Amino acid sequence: MKNNKLNIFLVEDDTNLGTILKEALEMSDYNVSLYKDGDEGWNNFTKGTFDICLLDVMMPKKDGFSLAAEIRKVDTAVPIIFLTAKSLKEDKIEGFKVGADDYITKPFSMEELELRIEAILRRTNKNQSDTNEQKIFNIGKFLFNYDERTLIIDGKSQNLTTKEAALLRLLCIYQNNLLERDVALKSVWHDDNYFTGRSMDVYITKLRKYLKEDEHIEIINVHGSGFRLMIK
């Protein structure tokens, strides 16, 4: 985390295999965070910043595909490699559907795994410039530029803070659909607890204040679930 090593997010329920992988990858100069099931993984994913995810498919609590789907809700870019015992075709298809970047069937050699990790990192680092994250959004009369953190209406430009922009971006991505509280909290605050929840409510108020200049735009609350950016 503190140094310039690349961070690997590893979730593997087989403790022996998990530890061996962790140690071997650390020998190859990666930082490795190991979690023993999908739930534990999901609870820690947003707490750190990871360069690549290695997920076992078959795990108790939350399988690898479900975990990958959750990760994709808050991070559409981080590369994901599945580790699996089976080589079933349907499993592969399922894996790629939830956004996998590669797939490796057990048993595999450390050399093979590392080659794939390197290949993916090479690919994603090279393309770091053009990620698939949308940066500019049209919301009703507004033009919202996430990168520049500006919200422009009728030529008037309002500067947004980092958190305001991050939350608004999420609402835009989910526009007209429900943005669940936990998704927003994990994505923007990297933590889901009482206080970050209160904080988010404050930011919702701020965004509503900005957005009220266009009466066709509304942030609707869905009690107990989350918010919806409605564009009428």
Which residue ranges make up the site for DNA (CB under 7 A)?
A: 159, 161-164, 181, 189, 195-199, 201-205, 208-209, 221-227
Smallest distance from the beta carbon of 157 to DNA, in angstroms?
A: 13
- The DSSP string of the chain is --SSPEEEEEE-S-HHHHHHHHHHHHHTTEEEEEESSHHHHHHHHTTS--SEEEEESS-SSS-HHHHHHHHHHH-SSS-EEEEES---HHHHHHHHHTT-SEEEESS--HHHHHHHHHHHHHHHHHTTSS-S---EEEETTEEEETTTTEEEETTEEEE--HHHHHHHHHHHHTTTSEEEHHHHIIIIIS--SHHHHHHHHHHHHHHHHHHTTSTTEEEEEETTTEEEEEE-
CB of 54 to its own copies, least distance (A): 15
Residues 114-133 that bind its own copies (CB under 8 A): 115-116, 119, 122-125, 130, 132
154 is a site residue for its own copies (CB under 8 A) = no
Q: Does 205 bind its own copies (CB under 8 A)?
A: no
Least CB distance to its own copies at residue 89 (A): 9
Supply the Cα-derived Rg of the chain in whole angstroms: 20
Using CB under 8 A as the criterion, what x/- string covers residues 77-116 for binding its own copies? ---------------xx--xx-xxxxx-x--x---x--xx
- Give least dist CB 47 to its own copies, A: 26
CA 74 distance to own-chain centroid: 3
Q: Which stretch binds its own copies (CB under 8 A): 18-26, 33-41, 170-178, 199-207?
A: 170-178
Closest separation between CB of residue 199 and DNA, Å? Answer: 4
Q: Judged by CB under 8 A, which of 19, 43, 49, 161 binds its own copies?
A: 161
Please, what sign has the CA dihedral across residues 113, 117, 118, 123? Answer: positive
Residue number, 47 or 122, with CB nearest to its own copies: 122
* Binding stretches for its own copies (CB under 8 A): 76, 92-93, 96-97, 99-103, 105, 108, 112, 115-116, 119, 122-125, 130, 132, 134, 136, 138, 143, 147-149, 161-163, 172-177, 220, 222-223, 225, 230, 232
